[in-house]
């Protein structure tokens, strides 16, 4: 039985925990959850799980793997400690790796302690194909992300367009993936994962749209290279509680955990 810890118990962290408890993630149990404040009495907590605001208590649970589901700052704060205390690390806030020095430091720590940093497909598809294709030559990769206006509150999108009255799609960003990941840390983590799988942050092109005509989150990946061409269109149903993310992200983590605990691994 794999012993898992979760950093963060917001919409995404809870969804991951629920899938594990429902036996959708293979032979895994949630042993510890690190939170900023204790959950309310009405929130479901896995049995025999330590829920704490104390990082030392959290890391003292002899965890095999830790899932980061709490944002860039949490990854920067706890990523190195996760690896150095003997746990593999599943990263959802991949956009934090747009910070080159942080990414390189974490890789060095992982190698030193013989641990892995795992990046799930999360909200997009095709990372396996991109990662394989880069073994040849990839000429171009473009990501186009479209989300409804309520997904963009609290971002620089509010400075570029009126999210209350916008009536047609509007491009709020066009540039490379490094800047996209830094500007939209909760909305465009997919650009970072795509960059790491493929041709890097500078060479990966990104377009970001506020789109009042849609109710889902859309990601389109276009790639061309020695392997041929890829055009992948993904439509994700957003969480009602947090439209910036989608249930498929939690399902993707459950799939990674299942691969780690079962005899047959699919989609690597």
| List 219, 244, 255, 258, catalytic entry | 219
**Which of 168, 170, 195 is CA-nearest to residue 181?**
195
Nearest CA-CA partner of 184 in 107, 53, 95, 261: 95
Asked if 131 contacts 193 with a C-beta cutoff of 8 angstroms, the reply is no
Respond yes or no: is residue 219 known to be catalytic. yes
How far is the C-alpha of 161 from the C-alpha of 260, rounded, in Å? 44
217 in a labelled binding site: no
Nearest to 6 by CA among 43, 72, 50, 56: 50
| DSSP secondary structure code for residue 52 in this structure | E
**What's the CA gap between 161 and 220, in Å, rounded?**
22
Place of tokens 């439209």: 243
Q: Is 123 annotated as a binding residue?
A: yes
- Gap between the Cα atoms of 156 and 175, Å rounded: 15
Contact in structure between 118 and 255 (CB atoms under 8 Å): no
Residues belonging to the active site = 219
Which residues line the annotated binding site for NAD(+)? Answer: 123, 189
């Amino acid at each position: 039985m794999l012993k898992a810890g979760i950093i963060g118990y917001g919409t995404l962290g809870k969804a991951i925990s629920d899938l594990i408890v429902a036996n959708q993630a293979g032979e895994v149990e949630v042993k510890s959850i690190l939170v900023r404040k204790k959950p309310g009495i009405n929130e479901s907590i896995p049995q025999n799980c330590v829920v704490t605001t104390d990082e030392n208590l959290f890391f003292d649970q002899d965890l095999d793997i830790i899932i980061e589901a709490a944002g860039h700052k949490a990854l920067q704060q706890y990523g190195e400690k996760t690896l150095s205390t003997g746990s593999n690390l599943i990263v959802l806030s991949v956009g934090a790796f747009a910070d080159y020095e942080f990414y390189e430091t974490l890789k060095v720590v992982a190698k030193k302690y013989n641990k892995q940093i795992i990046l799930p497909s999360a909200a997009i598809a095709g990372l396996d194909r991109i990662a394989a294709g880069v073994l040849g030559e990839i000429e171009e990769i473009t990501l186009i992300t479209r989300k409804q206006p309520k997904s963009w509150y609290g971002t620089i999108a509010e400075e570029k367009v009126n999210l209350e009255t916008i009536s047609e799609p509007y491009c709020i960003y066009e540039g490379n993936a490094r800047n996209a990941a830094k500007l939209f840390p909760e909305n465009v983590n997919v650009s970072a994962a795509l960059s790491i799988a493929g041709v890097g942050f500078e060479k990966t092109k990104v377009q970001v749209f506020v789109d009042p005509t849609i109710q889902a989150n859309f990601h389109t990946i276009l790639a061309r290279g020695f392997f041929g061409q890829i055009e992948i269109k993904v439509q994700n149903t957003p969480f009602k509680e947090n439209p910036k993310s989608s249930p498929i992200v939690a399902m993707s983590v459950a799939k990674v955990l299942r691969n780690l605990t079962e005899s047959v691994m699919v989609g690597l």
